[in-house]
Amino acid sequence: MTQRSTEGRGRRYDSVLDTIGNTPAIRINRIAPDHVTVYVKFEAFNPAGSVKDRLAIGIIEQAERDGTLKPGQTVVEATSGNTGIGLAMVCAAKGYPLVVTMAESFSVERRRLMRFLGAKVVLTPKALKGFGMYSKAKELAETNGWFLASQFETAANADIHASTTGREIMADFDGERLDYFVTGYGTGGTVTGVARVLRRERPDTKIILSEPANAAIVGSGYTNTRNEAHQPTESHPNFEPHPIQGWTPDFIPWVLQESIDKGYYDDLVPVPGPDGIAWSRRLAAEEGIFTGISGGASFAVAMKAAESAPEGSVMLVMLPDTGERYLSTPLFEGLPEDMTEEEMAISLSTPTAQMAAE
């Protein structure tokens, strides 16, 4: 076996923001069925660790171009975490103050990451769900004259995925099969932006969209009410709290509505939260790919689809983020801090540097 070596990227970067995108498509070698080839688009390679880095830079730079964001103006947004972390990184690099509203139910490490990146985090009661943190962000923007990032409505969301994520997929699979593209949704930006490209240039690629089984709001057939600015005016009645953080707020975002109206996905598959946790753990332990519950949930749907996929099919699965922002969630439940009996036995098998048995 030859020694691995690296040569550098052949360029230097003027800003951390220039490193957003161009994330790798990685083959799954051990846990995918033999009759299909499965790749994951691993968005943890973005500088702030998630797919939402794309959204953050897209929103801020579009607002700079059209003049709706003024130099030094405070940015405010409601987020379950990843968008806030991405915005905090972008705002830190560009010099904008950032205020994030987030329901108290989301993981503690997410709010700490945003604060570490210089953002202010305003918590909202978990009983008010996503609509509560959304309403708070909107109210703060209107009261203080802040720029509301509007990730759930802005055209910049899907646009950045069409111009980056979609183009990367086309380049990575140029001249090769791509039979399935599998993703979940939070704002809907990923599926809408990528589907614009695939429907136009790879119409034979089957797009599978997923949502939590206990919060299947798209599958319910009911669309929540919205105002003239396309902002939700109610919490979706079919929503229930679910463990797939970053997926499916308690309303159908306007950005996702384009995919619904234009038939951008071929199948809508609900997935139980425990399945997402189980597959995230398998990706880590058996492939060395460290992603969160949302990535595990998308992968679970892909594995279900693979059962009936024709021989030789090629699948690409979106993995939105890194697993490190789930340390306080059910993803890590049952993992001990101290040594297990098996680990203690390994320690005791040689005499050096032994820990005392408790």
From 148, 178, 212, give the residue that closes a domain.
148
Q: Are residues 216 and 226 in the same domain?
A: yes
50 forms beta bridges with: 321
Q: Are residues 300 and 209 in the same domain?
A: yes
Does residue 283 lie in a domain region?
Answer: yes
Q: Are residues 30 and 175 in the same domain?
A: yes
User: What whole-number distance in Å separates Cα of residue 249 and Cα of residue 209?
Assistant: 15
pLDDT at 357 over 90: no
Q: Are residues 243 and 212 in the same domain?
A: yes
Does residue 344 lie in a domain region?
Answer: no
Q: Are residues 162 and 207 in the same domain?
A: yes
Compute CA distances 29 → 205, 242, 287, whole Å. 22, 30, 7
From 148, 170, 197, give the residue that closes a domain.
148
Pairing of strands 25-27, 36-42: antiparallel
| Number of domains, the chain | 2
Q: How far is CA 31 from the centre of its chain?
A: 22
Does residue 249 lie in a domain region?
Answer: yes
Q: Are residues 166 and 306 in the same domain?
A: yes
**Of the given ranges (124-133, 248-257, 280-289), which has the lowest mean pLDDT?**
124-133
| Under 8 Å between Cβ of 78 and 132 | no
User: What percent of the chain is helix, strand and coil (3-state, nearest 5)?
Assistant: 40, 15, 40
Q: What CATH number is associated with residue 111?
A: 3.40.50.1100
User: What whole-number distance in Å separates Cα of residue 196 and Cα of residue 75?
Assistant: 29
Q: Are residues 231 and 112 in the same domain?
A: no
pLDDT at 4 over 80: yes
pLDDT at 61 over 90: yes
Does residue 268 lie in a domain region?
Answer: yes
Residue 248's pLDDT is 92
Q: Are residues 302 and 186 in the same domain?
A: yes
User: Which amino acids are annotated catalytic?
Assistant: 52, 294
Does residue 279 lie in a domain region?
Answer: yes
| Under 8 Å between Cβ of 50 and 321 | yes
pLDDT at 358 over 80: no
Does residue 341 lie in a domain region?
Answer: no
Q: Are residues 305 and 205 in the same domain?
A: yes
- Residue 120, SS3 per DSSP: strand
User: What whole-number distance in Å separates Cα of residue 240 and Cα of residue 261?
Assistant: 24
Question: Containing domain of residue 63, as a range?
Answer: 52-148
pLDDT tens digits, one per residue of 265-307 = 999 999 999 999 999 999 999 999 999 999 999 999 999 999 9
At 121, the amino acid letter reads V
Does residue 183 lie in a domain region?
Answer: yes
CB atoms within 10 A of CB 290: 18
| Under 8 Å between Cβ of 323 and 280 | yes
pLDDT at 316 over 90: yes
Residues 6+ apart with CB under 8 A from 149: 56, 59, 60, 75, 76, 77, 83, 87
User: What whole-number distance in Å separates Cα of residue 342 and Cα of residue 139?
Assistant: 54
- Which helix (DSSP H) or strand (DSSP E) does residue 315 occupy? strand 313-319
At 206, the amino acid letter reads K
Q: Are residues 248 and 166 in the same domain?
A: yes
Tell me what the mean pLDDT of segment 187-200 comes to: 98
User: What whole-number distance in Å separates Cα of residue 170 and Cα of residue 202?
Assistant: 8
pLDDT at 254 over 70: yes
From 148, 170, 204, give the residue that closes a domain.
148
Place of tokens 């802005």: 154
- Residue 111, SS3 per DSSP: helix
- Per-residue confidence band for 235, with pLDDT thresholds at 50, 70 and 90: very high
Tell me what the mean pLDDT of segment 58-62 comes to: 98
Q: Are residues 270 and 134 in the same domain?
A: no
Residues 6+ apart with CB under 8 A from 285: none
Q: Mean pLDDT for the chain?
A: 95
pLDDT tens digits, one per residue of 145-176 = 999 999 999 999 999 999 999 999 999 999 99
Residues 6+ apart with CB under 8 A from 320: 43, 50, 51, 52, 82, 184, 186, 190, 246, 291, 292, 294, 295, 298
Tell me what the mean pLDDT of segment 43-70 comes to: 98
Angle at Cα 298 formed by Cα 294 and Cα 303, nearest 5°? 140
Does residue 113 lie in a domain region?
Answer: yes
Q: Are residues 316 and 191 in the same domain?
A: yes
| Under 8 Å between Cβ of 298 and 318 | yes
